[in-house]
Amino acid sequence: SLANFAVGGQNWIWADVHGDIALFSKVFLPQRPAGVVPYLPVDGSGSAEWLADEQGRPIWVPDEKIPQATNPVEGYLA
């Protein structure tokens, strides 16, 4: 149900009557070239720009690389 969510980054947490718990973060994060740390200053040469496809659209980090958990062994989400 979160596949089409596209309004800012959100953390979604749920629980059910069977004791199942889960956390899913949903956000569109642009991919950058390998080795770029986006929260540190870059040199301004353009080498740290978002990666794009053939049509110039941003390439997003895949959902499976964004933190998520379902029924963690610790028994809680934090």
For 14-50, the pLDDT digits (tens) are 999 999 999 988 888 899 999 999 889 998 899 999 9
Measure the CA–CA gap between 12 and 24, rounded to whole angstroms. Answer: 5
pLDDT band, very low/low/confident/very high, at 2 (cuts 50, 70, 90): confident
Which carries the bigger pLDDT value, residue 38 or residue 75? 75
Pairing verdict, β 68-70 and 10-15 = unpaired
Q: If you average pLDDT over every residue of the chain, what do you get?
A: 90
The tokens describing 72, both together, are 């963690």
| Residue 25 · residue 49 · CB < 8 Å | no
The tokens describing 53, both together, are 């496809």
